[in-house]
Structure 1
Amino acid sequence: MKKNYESYLNSYLKNLSHSTPREIDAIRPDLTIKEYRKRDFFLKRGDVQKEMGFISVGLVRRYYINEKGNQITTGFAKENEYLTDYPAFIKQRPTKYFLQCIEPSVIIGVPYSIIQLSYEKFTNGQLYGRLMAEQTLTILNDRIEGFLFNTAEERYLKFVKEHPELMNRVSLTHLSSFLGIERQSLSRIRKRITKK
């Protein structure tokens, strides 16, 4: 991984298309850039998230540990996506999740205080916050409806269609956990589909 921090930073700032140069100049000095190795944690259960993460390079898995001690995957975040337990972040309360890198990653940190300041000072900051909240709500709702209305095979096919770039980057164990399917069942589904 090359330490080309300026290009990572510029890549992130391009995503702030709704922001003016003045707004970008106000937040830029407070952004942080950090490299993570595979298996490093961006966030652990019990932590209070002080920075919103933005993934420049890499892949992160979000999971919790259930009452039986099993890791249950609830999502993945890849390049050009935000990394957060958004409800806990906004309320600045301890998270119940683990956010762990499953690939070496470069993550830009946007401090909570700067996000709040941009909400107060800049109209576009409020717009960006609303868009982030809407995206988070949509992802959560889609996941819930997937379990309510789709079969295991339909959930798998939807994942393949929406995230083809992740198929060779996510292990079968993590994917089966995310889809709520036993690993053996997922293997059978994949075999059945390839025979069609």
Structure 2
Amino acid sequence: MITNLPSHYERLMQKYPVITPEEWSLLDNIASIKHIRKGDAFLRYGKIARESAFVISGMFKFAITDEEGNEKIVRFGMADDFLANCESYTKKAPSAISIIAMEDAVILKMNAKRLLPFQKNHPNLLQVNLQLFQELVEQQSEHQYILSLKTPLQRYKYLLERRPAIIKKISLTNIARYLYTSREAISRARLFLLNKSRNYCD
């Protein structure tokens, strides 16, 4: 067993145990560490995606801009999550989203073209690809369900109960952009639930 991998692989090996240490070592040969400052992009709107990455530390937002110029967030990327725009890479088409660092971040970056031969020769990597695709579909489905809830209060309450990490780590402004509502509406929803909780405890 290969044990000389950098320490940032330890969490990835726990999250994706199907990939062997030997396979992680092969991936390490085509990967590189990149530091991204808060506000800088891993992928910009209109650019063709050519790279993918695992988040070592920091947080990212997958953002779109509506017709009125307002930013809306479709998902978040946190530690150990995968950053990519598979549609843009597969179709060689300009990306419809931007992937932006929400704080100083460190990623394990891989060129998608160099990664492809490894996927063909290692079924374990294909299995992880399917897992990542399934996670993406589930996240998109959940986001659509959240947006189907009629009020900001209902949407915020869902996150509070089901995705507390978002509530704890993400600013109210970006939560509002994720819930497609105003910061003021989210602030009122938070205050209402906080007061309700206090009254219940009393």
Deviations 1:28-87 (A, max 9, x none): 200111011111111101112221121111011121111111111222111111112232
Residue correspondences, number:
192
Corresponding residue SS for 1:52: strand
Question: Closer, same or farther in 2 for the Cα pair 1:15/1:131, shift >3 Å?
Answer: same
Corresponding residue SS for 2:64: strand
Deviations 1:108-163 (A, max 9, x none): 11221243223211111211111111111111111112222554222212222333
Structure 1, gaps ≥5 residues long: none
Mean Cα deviation higher: 7-16 or 18-27? 7-16
Mean Cα deviation higher: 177-186 or 82-91? 82-91
What is residue 75 of structure 1 aligned with on the other side?
A: 75
What is residue 53 of structure 2 aligned with on the other side?
A: 53
What is residue 102 of structure 2 aligned with on the other side?
A: 102
**Structure exhibiting the larger radius of gyration computed from Cα positions:** 2
CA distance in 1, matches of 2:187, 2:15: 37
Corresponding residue SS for 1:17: coil
User: RMSD across aligned C-alpha pairs, in angstroms?
Assistant: 2.0
CA distance in 2, matches of 1:29, 1:16: 18
**TM-score with structure 1 length normalisation?**
0.87
CA distance in 2, matches of 1:53, 1:95: 16
Question: Closer, same or farther in 2 for the Cα pair 1:118/1:87, shift >3 Å?
Answer: same
What is residue 8 of structure 1 aligned with on the other side?
A: 8
Moved over 4 A (4+): none
Q: 1:9–1:108: 8 Å Cα contact kept in structure 2?
A: no
**TM-score with structure 2 length normalisation?**
0.85
Corresponding residue SS for 1:7: coil
What is residue 32 of structure 2 aligned with on the other side?
A: 32
- Opposite residue 69 of structure 2, the aligned amino acid is G
- Opposite residue 135 of structure 1, the aligned amino acid is E
Mean Cα deviation higher: 179-188 or 6-15? 6-15
Q: 2:149–2:155: 8 Å Cα contact kept in structure 1?
A: no
CA distance in 2, matches of 1:10, 1:114: 23
CA distance in 2, matches of 1:136, 1:174: 20
What is residue 199 of structure 2 aligned with on the other side?
A: none
1:194 is displaced (CA, Å) by 0.9
Mean Cα deviation higher: 114-123 or 132-141? 114-123
1:167 is displaced (CA, Å) by 2.7
1:127-166 alignment runs, 5 A limit: 127-149=127-149, 151-166=151-166
Percent identity of paired positions between Structure 1 and Structure 2:
20
Corresponding residue SS for 2:160: helix
Structure 2, gaps ≥5 residues long: 197-202
